[in-house]
Structure 1
Amino acid sequence: MKAEWPKETIPELPVKTPSATTAVTNTHIWMAIRSPERPRTAHSPTATAVRATTIRTVCPISRARRRRGRSARAVAAMIPRHRFKWKESLHLVCCQTKRSFRGMAFASPRAVCHRYKMTLSGTTLPSPLDPGGPRWEGGCLGPEDPPPVMRLREGAATRILLTCDHAGHRVPSNVALGVGEQDLCRHIGYDIGALAVAERLSGALDAELIAQRYSRLVIDCNRPPHAPDAMPRRVDGTTVPGNAAITPSGAAARVAEIFMPYHAAIEASLDRRAARGEATVLVAVHSFTPQHRDYPGARPWPITFLYNRQPALSLALAAILAERGVNAGLNVPYEVDDASDYAIPVHAERRGIVSTLVEVRQDTIGDAEGVAAAAALLAGIIPLALDRIATP
C-alpha cells in the first residue's frame, strides 16, 4: 500500500585531525557496554573503566590525573586546548554520566584492571576522529572495510543537520553474525529507504548529512552501547547467533570502530556549528516496517515524528501534515527516551538543539518515486515548521 503524498516542489572553522595513535593497555576496559545479565549502574566497573581509560588515553597529562574528584569536562576545561587534542572523544564517552568516580577517575588502565580484576591485553587505539576511523588489531573492521561514516554536503550553509543511523546493511569482514543476506536486507538489518530519502532531502535543503553504513545487527547506533538491544540476540523472530556468542572484546571493538567514529563525527559537526554561533536543527531520518512481530498492531501512518523533551518541531510538522489531510503520527510506532535512543537525547537534548526524529513507513518509499515524494514532502514542510515554532 503506497501513501498518497501531497505534491511538493523540491525546492568554517578548520578541524585538526590527530594522526598519532595512543597505546592502550587493555581492550576490555575501554568498552561502554554491560551484558544483559549484569545491568549497568552509575557505580559499575564498566562505567568507571570507561571514564578512567578514556581520560588516561586522550589526556595523558600527569598533573591532570592528580585532580581527583573533578569531572572529565572540568579537567578538559582546565587544560590548554593545544595540549588537549582529543576533547571531542573525551566528551563523547563521558557525556552519559557526570560522576567523577573520585579516586578511580584518573587512575591508570592497569590500576583499574587491578581494582576490578580485569584482564590486560595489548592493543593500539587510534583517535575516533582519525580519517577512516580507528582500527584494532583483531578488531571487527578489516583492512578492506570502508569507514562507518558517510558524509554528504559537509559544511553546507543551512542550519539543518541530517543524520541516518541505520543507513546500510554492510557487515564487517571480521564479524560473523550468522544471518543470511536475505535477513540483512530486511528491516531488521537496516532502515529500508531511509538513506535514499535522507540523500534527496539533503539535496533539496542543501543540508549536511552524516550517515552510518554498517548493519544495525552489528551495532545499533541509535542505542546506548550498553543497551541489551544495541547488539540484539533476537529481533522480529530472527536469531542472531553472532551476537548471542559475542565476547567482551568483540563487543568493545564494534563500539570503538563503528559506534564511536559515527557519533564523534556528529559531535564534531555540532561543535563547529556552535563555534560559529549557528542555531542548528537536528533531523534524524529513519524508516519503520508496516508489520513487526515484537510490536504488534496496525501501523496506518505513512510518516511519524518522534520526540522526547523537545516536542515543538515534531508537533509543528504533524500539524502541517494534518492540515493537508495526511495521517501523520506522533511518538508512534516507537517513542524516544534515554534508555532506548542515543542520537536525540545525547546530541540534541543535552545541547538544547531543536530536533525531531522522522520515521517514514517503508512500503511508501520502496521505489524511486516514493523516495522522491517523501523527500519533497519533508523538504517543503520542515522550513514551514521551523518558521512556526520561531514565531511566538
Structure 2
Amino acid sequence: MGILSTQEGDPVAVENAEASSRFILVCEHASRQMPAKLGTLGLSPEALESHVAWDPGALAVARSMSRSLSATLVYQRFSRLVYDCNRPPDSPGAMPETSEVYEIPGNAGLSETDRQERARSLYFPFRDRLADLVRERIAAGRAPIVVTIHSFTPVYFGKARAVEIGILHDEDRRLADLMLEAAAGDELYNVRRNEPYGPEDGVTHTLKEHGLANGLLNVMIEIRNDLIRDDVGQGVMADYLTGLLVESVPASSQK
C-alpha cells in the first residue's frame, strides 16, 4: 500500500529527461515535503524548515545547472527525514532518530515493517529510476557522468564551517581531482576535498551505487547553504559549478 497517496504522486521526479549531454544531476535531499500519512513526524515548523529536513537551495542550483549543461536532473520529492535516499535501507541514517540537535519522534522505534514500507515507497523507486536512466544511457553508448548536488549548514553543533564548497568522492577520484585543480586557479570560494563530509560519513552511497558500480565518472558537490539562500546566490553558484564541470570534462566528452 505504501505511505504515499495517489494524490501525492511519484516520490521521484525527472526533469530534462531527453537532455543532450552526458551529465546526470542528482538531488537526493531536494524537498522538505512530508507524506500526509506521516504528518510532521512530531517536529516543529522550525525543524521542518531547517537543514535537517532537506538541503536548502540545492534543487534550485541543480535546476539551473541542468539548463546550462543540458543535463537530466533526478530528485527526491519528499523529505530526507522520512527516508534519506543517499543511504541504503540497512543504514541507521536512512530514517534517523536524531539529526544534529533535533530528535525525530516519528522515527523513534520504527518496526522492521515500517522501515520496509518507507524503503519501498521512497528509496527503491528513486534508486530504480536512476539506475534505469544510467543503464539506458550506457546502452545507447552515452556513458553518463553522475553529479550529486547537496547543501550543508554553515554552523554544525555550534561550530562554524569555513569550507564553502566541498568536492566529495569515494574511491574514484578522477572527476573530483579535475574539479579541484580547476578551482585552485581562482580565489572565489573556499573549495576543499571531502569536506565537510567524506566517505567515512556514509555520504557516498549514490556515487557508489550508480557511479563506481558502473565505472562512471562521478562526484558529489556540497554547497554551504548561506551562499544559496536567494535567487541571486543560487544563480551565481550554479554558474560557478557549471564552469568547473565544463572545464574539468572536455567538450568532446560531454555529449
Q: Same fold (TM over 0.5)?
A: yes
Which of residues 117, 132, 136 is equivalent to 1:253? 117
Query: Which structure's relative contact order is higher, taking Cα pairs within 8 Å and 6+ residues apart?
Result: 2
Identical residues among aligned pairs (%): 32
Q: 1:318 aligns with which of 180, 188, 210?
A: 180
Q: Which amino acid aligns with 1:342?
A: H
Query: How far apart in 1 are the matches of 2:159 and 2:178?
Result: 26
Show the counterpart of 1:357.
220
Structure 2: give runs of 5+ residues left out of the alignment. Answer: none
Q: Which runs of 4+ in 1 moved over 6 A?
A: none
Render the CA deviation track for 1:251-302: whole Å, top value 9, x for unaligned.
1111001101011110010010011111211100001110111xx6442122
Cα deviation for residue 344 of structure 1 reads 0.4
CA–CA distance in structure 2, aligned partners of residues 153 and 337 of structure 1: 33
Q: Corresponding residue for 1:4?
A: none
Deviation readout 1:38-94 (Å, 9 max, x if unpaired): xxxxxxxxxxxxxxxxxxxxxxxxxxxxxxxxxxxxxxxxxxxxxxxxxxxxxxxxx
**Structure with bigger gyration radius:** 1
Contact 2:170 2:204 in 1 (8 A): no
TM-score normalised according to structure 2 size: 0.93
The answer (yes or no) to whether the contact 1:283–1:355 under 8 Å persists in 2 is yes
1:182 is displaced (CA, Å) by: 2.0
Where do residues 21-170 of structure 1 align in structure 2 (5 Å cutoff)?
136=1, 139-170=2-33
- What amino acid does structure 2 have at the position aligned with 1:309? E
Specify the alignment match of 1:219 in structure 2: 83
Question: Does 378-387 or 192-201 show the bigger shift?
Answer: 378-387
The one-letter code sitting in structure 2 at the alignment partner of 1:306 is L
- Using the alignment, how far apart are the partners of 1:383 and 1:333 within structure 2? 24
**What's 1:348 paired with?**
211
Give the match for residue 373 of structure 1.
Answer: 236
For residues 27 and 236 of structure 2, what CA distance do their matches in structure 1 show? 18
Q: 1:197 aligns with which of 49, 57, 61?
A: 61
Number of aligned positions between the proteins = 250
Relative to its length, the structure with more helix (as a share) is 2
What RMSD, in angstroms, separates the aligned Cα atoms of the two structures?
1.6
Which stretch has the larger CA shift, 184-193 or 144-153? 144-153
Higher-strand-fraction structure: 2
| Aligned residue runs from structure 1 range 227-376, under 5 A | 227-293=91-157, 297-325=159-187, 326-336=189-199, 339-376=202-239
Please state whether the residue corresponding to 2:95 is helix, strand or coil: coil
Q: How far 1:248 moved relative to its partner?
A: 1.9
Query: In 1, are the aligned partners of 2:169 and 2:199 still within 8 Å (CA)?
Result: yes
- TM-score, normalising length: structure 1: 0.62
Deviations 1:233-260 (A, max 9, x none): 0111111111003222221111001101
How far did 1:341 drift?
3.5
Which structure 1 residue ranges, 5 or more long, are not aligned? 1-135
Counterpart position of 1:183: 47
